[in-house]
Structure 1
Amino acid sequence: MVYVITAMYCEAAPIIKRFTLKKVTEIRHFQVFKNDSLVLIVSGVGPVKAAAATAFIFAYYGCSLEDILINIGICGSVKNKYHKNEILLCSKIIDSSTKFEYYPDLIFNSPFREAVLETFPKVVEKNGAGNVQGDIIDMEGAYIYGAASIFLYQHNIHIIKIVSDNMEPSSVSAEYIEKVIDESLDKIQNWIDSRKSLNKNEQELLSKEELEKIKLIEHNLNLSETMKIELYKLALNYKIRKLEINNELDSYLQLKCSSRKEGKRYFGEIRKRLMEL
């Protein structure tokens, strides 16, 4: 499944039309639209709403670690570094409030230039540019990324921004936003399709039997969500290197831990073993 988050309905409208999404009427907390392969949620503007919408959509529909989440929205460009209407893929994301930095795992090629995004809790005008560390600014990206990383692999979380202004948000109309998103969708859709194809190929590297063994180890060792994601990545990379992983997994199937601390210790052993060349 592909999950898309936009802050405003005017950002969502062209996507709803392009993918023929239908409104989910039973959901009252947020505006949600979907088809068989894509779910879109309109979060509302601001960090708290963005984080809440991200957590809500995964709690409501569930998720697998192979799902993809994409935040599509407008941004302001600092110091005219990027041209208006340019599509950007965020390679670093800064939370302006805490100064915490996220580094998305960009392991796939994209046709978009990369940028450093800084997320602010309120609108920043041009006269506040001196306090900005990022190349571009918004009010949601860091919180969407932070919330989504609890549920998904980081290489499956993408923050895509389209430059709407040079830190002059009052100059941007809803009609303009809808138009610029619509004009960007051909490139974004082509890239989404290629990303889905790559994820499918990755999933096929591990057999159903191997995936079931990984799930059993996760359960028996009482692993955290972060550890589960790391275990899957370690197993996948080991299989790519060695072509076989069943023997390694079998040696841990009988382990059962009564505490998270004990599971963490065994997980350290597994990590070391699966990282061997």
Structure 2
Amino acid sequence: MIYLFTAFYAEAQCVIAHYKLKKDTAHTHFQLFENEELKIRLILTGAGNIAAACAVSGTFGEFPPGKGDFLVNIGSAAADANDPSVRDGEIFLCNKITEQTTGRTFYPDVIYRHPFAEAEIVTQAVPYRGANETQDPENGAGARLYDMEAAAVYQAGAYYFGPHQMTFLKVVTDHGVAGDGKTGQPEQIGQKIAAQEEAVCAYIDSLRRITEEAAEECGCGAKQDEEETDIRRLTEDLHASKTMEAMVRQHIRYWTLSGIDYRTVLKEMYASGKLPCRDKREGKNCFEEIRRKLL
């Protein structure tokens, strides 16, 4: 199942129409739209971190997710109008999430091929007010976006998903609170997100294929046994923790379903002496090298 979370209906409208999602009127605390045949559920969280966290927790309290499920946060974001790396209406996949109030950072695993530019997103308790409000001189290069939900969605989702099962897609729809105290209007936000409908839905479809093919292959005898052997051997030789073991499993599943020849890369790593590793630290670095070679 693909679980989509957006703050407002305007952000979700094009996806709801594209997948013919129907509203489930049995839910009163938050709005839920679904298409059981396509295995997609979309939830409107409302604005802000508390609303987002409650919607995520409430959803998965009612619908416990499976190992092959995905959480996708789609929505609008603000950006500095003077940032040359960001264009109005551009879509980004967020590879780093910073919670402004605590300074905590979170890193969704970007393990699936995608066509998007990548960016950091900063989650604030109030709407972004424009340049210089939250500038960090140590931020370095790269695009930076601002919203009010991503960090809460990630933290609530982490109780049910691994970092490799959560994706954050944001469309730049404004450049902070205007002089009248308002950000972009719902109609304008909806139009800018709708302009990215093809790219967003193509990405959702790629996640759906991974989920469906994994379900079809579950229990498929010899092939599954081969994957399990690879997973078991690699996790042992990486000295992997439980968290890394889950990542190894997800990566090998993805490489298999995508037709990526990961076994040749592993064979080269063993031949060069990089595998097996001596400890967890070396194993983590080795796994990152494997990922770079295959992505």
- For the aligned pair, the TM-score class normalised by the smaller chain equals 0.7 to 0.9
The answer to whether 1:129 aligns with 2:133 is yes
Matched residue type, 2:98:
I
| Alignment partner of 2:113 out of 104, 109, 134 | 109
Partner SS for 1:129: coil
Change (3 A) 1:86 1:139: same
| Alignment partner of 1:158 out of 167, 170, 182 | 167
- 1:20-31 matched pairs, under 5 angstroms: 20-31=20-31
The answer to whether 1:144 aligns with 2:153 is yes
Displacement of 1:150: 1.6
Matched residue type, 1:117:
I
Q: Which residue does 2:205 correspond to in 1? A: 193
CA contact (8 A) 1:65 1:229 kept: no
Matches of 2:94 and 2:7 in 1, distance apart? 17
Q: Which residue does 2:64 correspond to in 1? A: 62
Displacement of 1:197: 2.2
Percent identity between the two aligned chains? 28
Partner SS for 1:52: helix
Matches of 2:146 and 2:20 in 1, distance apart? 30
Change (3 A) 1:235 1:119: closer
Partner SS for 1:126: coil
CA RMSD of aligned residues (A): 3.1
Change (3 A) 1:126 1:236: closer
Higher helix share: 1
Matches of 1:186 and 1:237 in 2, distance apart? 26
Change (3 A) 1:180 1:60: same
Larger deviation: 159-168 or 37-46?
159-168
The answer to whether 1:118 aligns with 2:132 is no
User: Taking structure 1 as the reference length, what is the TM-score of the superposition?
Assistant: 0.74
Structure 1: segments with no counterpart, 5+ residues: 215-226, 243-267
Q: Which residue does 1:255 correspond to in 2? A: none
Matches of 1:166 and 1:235 in 2, distance apart? 40
Change (3 A) 1:75 1:55: same
Matched residue type, 2:26:
E
| Alignment partner of 1:43 out of 45, 51, 56 | 45
Matches of 2:91 and 2:74 in 1, distance apart? 10
Change (3 A) 1:235 1:179: closer
Matches of 2:242 and 2:216 in 1, distance apart? 18
Matches of 2:33 and 2:24 in 1, distance apart? 6
Q: Which residue does 2:291 correspond to in 1? A: none
User: Taking structure 2 as the reference length, what is the TM-score of the superposition?
Assistant: 0.70
Structure 2: segments with no counterpart, 5+ residues: 229-240, 257-261, 264-279, 288-295
| Alignment partner of 1:82 out of 79, 86, 95 | 86
Displacement of 1:59: 1.1
Change (3 A) 1:121 1:23: same
Matches of 2:250 and 2:17 in 1, distance apart? 37
Larger deviation: 53-62 or 190-199?
190-199
Matches of 2:167 and 2:28 in 1, distance apart? 26
CA contact (8 A) 2:176 2:183 kept: no
| Alignment partner of 1:52 out of 30, 51, 54 | 54
Matched residue type, 1:113:
A
Displacement of 1:237: 6.9
CA contact (8 A) 1:66 1:152 kept: no
Change (3 A) 1:159 1:236: closer
The answer to whether 1:91 aligns with 2:95 is yes
Q: Which residue does 1:179 correspond to in 2? A: 191
Displacement of 1:82: 0.5
Change (3 A) 1:208 1:135: same
Matched residue type, 1:77:
A
Q: How many residues align?
A: 233
Displacement of 1:90: 0.1
CA contact (8 A) 1:70 1:160 kept: yes
Displacement of 1:65: 1.6
Matches of 1:130 and 1:61 in 2, distance apart? 37
CA contact (8 A) 2:76 2:171 kept: yes
Q: Which residue does 1:6 correspond to in 2? A: 6
